[in-house]
Amino acid sequence: MWEFKFYSRGGQGAVTAAKILINAAILEGKFGQAIPSYGQERKGAPVYTYARIADGPIEVKSYVYRPNCVICFDTSLADLGIDITEGVRPGSTLVVNTNKDFSCDAFETVCGIDADTITHEMLGEVPPNVAMLGALAKATGCVSIESLLKAIEVKIPGKAGEMNARACKAAYENA
Amino acid sequence: MGVIKALDGNAAIAHGVMRSKVQLVAAYPITPQTPIVETISSLIDTKQYDATYITVESEHSALSAVIGAASTGVRTFTASASHGLALMHEVTGTCSASRLPAVMAVVSRAIPGPMCLWCDHSDIMTQRDQGWIQLFAKSPQEALDFIMIAYRTSEDERVLTPTMVDIDGFFCSHLTEPVDVPTEEEAERFITDFNPVNAVLDPELPYAINNLTSPAIFTEIKRSQDLGMRAAAGVLDERFEQFGELFGRRYGRILCENVEDADTVVVCMGSMAGTVQHVVRQLREEGKKVGILRVVAFRPFPAKEVAEALKNAKNVAVIDRVSAMGSFGPLYEEVLASMRLGRLDANAYSFVAGLGGRDIWEQTVEDVIARTEELGAENSVCDAPIWIDLKEEEVVTNG
């Protein structure tokens, strides 16, 4: 079972990203679960979101404390004392939004993606969430890029969906 | 098989209401129930669902509108949580005593104080003796299914008692999973048109309901209600059975897994049941004889079934997601009464966990089971609830 923990800030679209990811899993006939942890909602505040993907039904209904994949939308969360290696299992994957070389020994695989730049160039001033999903699909193979693009276009109908799907694909190819 | 959609518990409730052909909805938004209200109004607005939505200024008005509409023979729905449910309290008894088969979704959130947005069962437990059937769902799928089952149970002429379908705030209300949403045609094989069998208000024939009731008849009215509630047990069994045959999803007033030969059984309700089930399966793989007894219907309480299910257990751990300060948790008390009914002498331990949004995760459940086995091995008596997952250093004794 894939167990994901998303680290982000309010406004970066991680909650929506987790839902799109689950939709992609469902399109493949898999089982998925997305569960955000809500605080007092404000832009910029740290937000944790969790997700699971498995081949069979998922009984557990709690947050993810021992992820095997971490998705970090913002490396500056470390300045707040937030530790993205907390509870990670051996052999885990990190997908991180960065424009620098990023290494972290706690993870077996580190996938860096400049989701902010891809998003800025292709979509403008919107959250980098679909680009992060593209990199996640590439790094883990938990869902196929085709299902992911379809899930994006279901969630965001029309031209905006097509543009988001293109940004997701660009991140998939650049990750 | 319906259409598989990724829905959270709130959206699943809204779809359950639509598929149950509810004719009138009156509700006031409150976290974490608000998306139910939003989804229903959006379904109505986009013409996917034909119903009357009454915008009200409070929860007291919401349930009052539901009572008024239900008294004219209309199928009704409302939803609330925490403060909102507290504000409804005065009228929840009016609804049940009037034998109006309304259905309400309760998205459990702690009753203040201190002020809290997050999940526990302190809100729904204030309603346990208000004469409503209470069903606890653990997942978005069950949330949808139980709404449909609730209408068919409440409206049965043997019952005529309203139902609360409880989902845990955030742990179910905001948890997205694949949900099999029955098509309208499929739902119609289960949901029939509402045929009010009780009094129906008619402007041509005006009369009063719920007026001053004297001691000469009050007790008999309460006993009549009690009999309706007790009859709901058998009707729920029939409906669960019928629903299972039509949709392939099998439920019951209690749901057990691995209890037959279990030394230790964990009893619980709501979303935590999923996590307990997960841990029990893992411990079974390690050869530990543990099981789960999940109470789905808290009202009417399935005492006989609980007693029967626990007959082989050596230790029983009951997790309440609420503290009955100064006494034992409400679920624990019900389980003890059930064990007495079955003349069972297993050790029973009361646990308090998951208050105000604290997560009940795998470790919490493992701790409950380990502590129960320790206490059971010593044959300890439970003289007070055990607060599991507590930061002892933060607890003060002088306020």
**Within this chain, do residues B83 and B199 fall inside the same structural domain, yes or no?**
yes
pLDDT at B206: 87
pLDDT at B399: 64
pLDDT at B74: 95
CATH number at B187 reads: 3.40.50.970
Alpha-carbon dihedral sign for residues A139, A142, A147, A149: negative
In 3D space, the residue among A73, A78, A71 whose CA is nearest the CA of residue A92 turns out to be A71
Please say whether the beta carbons of A43 and A76 come within 8 A.
no
**Within this chain, do residues B143 and B259 fall inside the same structural domain, yes or no?**
no
**Within this chain, do residues B298 and B352 fall inside the same structural domain, yes or no?**
yes
What residues pair up with A47 in beta bridges, in sequence order? Answer: A8
* Domains of chain B: total: 2
- Closest approach of chain B CAs to the CA of A54, in angstroms? 12
Of B247, B263, B287, the one marking the end of a domain is B247
**Within this chain, do residues B178 and B51 fall inside the same structural domain, yes or no?**
yes
> Residues B35-45: what's their mean pLDDT?
96
**Within this chain, do residues B370 and B300 fall inside the same structural domain, yes or no?**
yes
How long, in residues, is chain A? 175
**How far is the C-alpha of A139 from the C-alpha of A133, rounded, in Å?**
10
**Within this chain, do residues B241 and B276 fall inside the same structural domain, yes or no?**
no
**Within this chain, do residues B305 and B227 fall inside the same structural domain, yes or no?**
no
Tell me whether residues B6 and A59 touch, CB distance under 8 A. Answer: no
Per-domain residue ranges of chain A: 2-174
Lowest mean pLDDT among A116-125, B204-213, B366-375: B204-213
CATH fold, domain A2-174, is Pyruvate-ferredoxin Oxidoreductase; domain 3 (3.40.920)
pLDDT at A165: 96
pLDDT at B391: 95
> Is B319 within the bounds of a domain?
yes
**Within this chain, do residues B148 and B75 fall inside the same structural domain, yes or no?**
yes
Query: Does the pLDDT at position A158 exceed 70?
Result: yes
Q: Which domain holds residue B327?
A: 254-394
**CA closest to A24 among chain B residues:** B6
pLDDT band at B203 (very low <50, low <70, confident <90, very high): confident
Taking contacts as CB-CB distances below 8 angstroms, the residues of chain A near B6 are 19, 22-23, 26, 32, 34
Higher pLDDT, B198 or B346: B346
Lowest mean pLDDT among A147-156, B200-209, B356-365: B200-209
**Within this chain, do residues B284 and B350 fall inside the same structural domain, yes or no?**
yes
Query: Does the pLDDT at position B289 exceed 90?
Result: yes
pLDDT at B160: 97
Of B247, B268, B298, the one marking the end of a domain is B247
Please say whether the beta carbons of B80 and B28 come within 8 A.
yes
Query: Does the pLDDT at position B267 exceed 80?
Result: yes
Residue A167: both structure tokens together: 């940004």
At A100-153, the pLDDT tens digits run 999 999 999 999 999 999 999 999 999 999 999 999 999 999 999 999 999 999
Of B247, B278, B293, the one marking the end of a domain is B247
Query: Does the pLDDT at position A155 exceed 80?
Result: yes
Interior/surface letters B336-354, b for 16+ CB within 10 angstroms, e for the rest: bebbeebebebbbbbbbbb
Taking contacts as CB-CB distances below 8 angstroms, the residues of chain B near A143 are none
**Within this chain, do residues B298 and B386 fall inside the same structural domain, yes or no?**
yes
DSSP percent split of chain A into helix, strand, coil, nearest 5:
40, 20, 40
Phi-psi region of B329 (alpha: psi -120 to 50; beta: other; left: phi over 0): beta
Residues 6+ apart with CB under 8 A from B276: B266, B268, B292, B294, B319, B365
> Is B399 within the bounds of a domain?
no
> Is B289 within the bounds of a domain?
yes
CATH number at B259 reads: 3.40.50.920
Average pLDDT, chain B: 96
B193-198 contacts, C-beta under 8 A, 24 or more apart: B193/B21, B194/B21, B194/B23, B194/B73, B194/B74, B194/B75, B194/B151, B194/B155, B195/B155, B196/B73, B196/B155, B197/B157, B197/B160, B198/B99, B198/B100, B198/B160
Taking contacts as CB-CB distances below 8 angstroms, the residues of chain B near A33 are 175-177
At B328-355, the pLDDT tens digits run 999 999 999 999 999 999 999 999 999 9
The residues on A that touch B, with CB distances below 8 Å, are 18-19, 22-23, 26, 31-38, 40, 58-63, 65
Taking contacts as CB-CB distances below 8 angstroms, the residues of chain A near B1 are none
- Closest approach of chain B CAs to the CA of A103, in angstroms? 30
**Within this chain, do residues B215 and B311 fall inside the same structural domain, yes or no?**
no
Residues 6+ apart with CB under 8 A from B198: B99, B100, B160
> Is B342 within the bounds of a domain?
yes
Tell me which H or E stretch contains B317: strand B315-320
Alpha-carbon dihedral sign for residues B300, B301, B307, B308: positive
ipTM entry? 0.95
Beta strand A109-113 pairing with A93-97: parallel
**Within this chain, do residues B336 and B200 fall inside the same structural domain, yes or no?**
no
Average pLDDT, chain A: 95
Query: Does the pLDDT at position A40 exceed 80?
Result: no
- Closest approach of chain A CAs to the CA of B193, in angstroms? 33
**How far is the C-alpha of A24 from the C-alpha of B390, rounded, in Å?**
38
pLDDT band at B211 (very low <50, low <70, confident <90, very high): confident
pLDDT at B198: 78
Query: Does the pLDDT at position A26 exceed 70?
Result: yes
Tell me whether residues A62 and B275 touch, CB distance under 8 A. Answer: yes
